[in-house]
Amino acid sequence: MKNKYMPTAISLYINYFVHGMGAIIMAQNMDYLTKQLHTDTTGVAYVISALGIGRLLVLFVSGVLSDKFGRKPFVFTGMAIYSLFFAGILIAPNVSVAFIFALLAGMANSILDSGTYPALMESFPETPGTANVIIKAFISAGQFALPLIISFLISSDLYYGYSFLLCIAIFIVNGLVLSRLKFPDHKVQAAPAASSESGSKFRNKPNFWIEGICLILIGYTATATFYLISVWLPKYGEQVVQMSKTSSLQLISYYSIGSLLAVFVTSYLVKSLVRPVTFVLLYPFISFVALLVLWQVRTPLVCVISAFVIGFSAAGGVLQLALTTMSELFPSSKGKITGIVYTASSLATFSIPVITGILSKTSISNIILFDAIITFVGVLLAIIVNMRYRRVVNPVSTGVQA
């Protein structure tokens, strides 16, 4: 709390509370959007896929530019474009127009990431893993709050768009606060970070084509695991398990509670006891088991428990810890590293809605099985990363951030 950039960090985290809502807001309002856009669930899934395309279009470039021009301009640009998305979806008359606004949301997310993640790592150079994982707490809080807000709007027979307008209002207030706060000098921070992670830190030189590629692919599998659940779990609960609409929507709240709890547990452990790379393996394995149980045992209780467990393990910071491990093994410009890992993540947010939209025409349960298969691939990749990590990193130099 003595860190002078703590107010800036809190404001940056609040943006990800809004992002947490934004990531699932179309899926949570799927029934309303199918009517507004004159389409079906496959059409809405197609619109949601634009989020991934938008991320892919600008992520790597925005990361490089963030290293050159600083973090603050990209944070504000991301907030502004995200607000345009929230407003645009409400007036979109068809799938094509909605797709364009969702494309902007994906671009906004990438721009926001390229400014925020490096800024946090530079604000807290001694605990970058913890700083990144806490982002998940705010994303989870947003994903926990939104289903409750929507349930209230439904029960009160109020306009569904109020949930979108709330997101815009938070961005406006937070933007006014953030405009008065200082960011760390990205040029000053870059040099020591690179030098401190070189030399005796490694017993052997990390191999980008082995552990590097595996970590990039984990960026895909980790995102696919939790993104698929956040979009389709309510539909699975309603159509396959025969839960009520309100109860099925609230599954995401249980998922978010698990994710939120995982953030606090993980952030404490990576700061003092356990290496981040260990969680990159442990959490996907837990998710894999939970997904298999969810697929096989179709009861409301299992849905609730699985939602919590998958939230804890899949959405509890695996992606952020993969990014931290990537930055540790391959010291470089933090914006560029963020761009590489999150490009793979963006591929997931683009491809998963398209694939699952097709699968939904056969059976919603097939989507859960598909998620389990992707997660198992992530487990295999994480095994390789852990084996290589223990070969190349000097245990004496790792400390609590190893």
The tally of domains found in the chain comes to 1
Pairwise CA distance, residues 293 & 52, whole Å: 28
Q: Is residue 343 part of a domain?
A: yes
Please check whether residue 1 lies inside any domain of the structure.
no
Tell me which residue of 157, 158, 113, 166 sits closest to 135, measured CA to CA. 113
| CATH, residue 164 | 1.20.1250.20
Mean pLDDT along residues 193-203: 51
pLDDT over 80 at 1, yes or no: no
Q: Is the pLDDT score of 191 beyond 50?
A: no
Q: Supply the pLDDT for residue 401.
A: 42
What digits encode the pLDDT tens for the residues 63-97? 788 888 888 999 999 999 999 999 999 999 999 99
pLDDT tens for 23-54 read 889 988 988 999 999 998 889 888 988 888 88
Kindly state whether residue 72 falls inside one of the protein's structural domains: yes
Would residue 308 count as lying in a domain?
yes
The proportion of the chain whose per-residue pLDDT surpasses 70, expressed as a percent, equals: 93
Is 58 domain-assigned? yes
Identify the pLDDT of residue 333: 64
pLDDT score for 192? 40
Mean of pLDDT values over 172-186: 91
355 within a domain of the structure (yes/no): yes
Q: Output the CA torsion sign for 78, 25, 46, 99.
A: negative
Q: For residues 177 and 192, what is the distance between their CA atoms, to the nearest angstrom?
A: 30
CA distance linking residue 156 with residue 158, whole number of Å: 5
Residue 354, CA distances (Å) to 48, 288, 327, 348, 360 in order: 9, 22, 31, 10, 10
Residue range(s) defining the domain that contains residue 185: 6-401
In a domain, 342, yes or no: yes
Complete DSSP assignment for 102-163: HHHHHHHHHHHHHHHHHHHHHHSTT-HHHHHHHHHHHHHHHHHHHHHHHHHHHHTT--TTHH
Taking alpha carbons only, the member of 116, 121, 118, 27 closest to residue 79 is 116
The two three-digit tokens of residue 300, written as one number: 């409301």
202 three-class SS: strand
Residue 224 located in a structural domain: yes
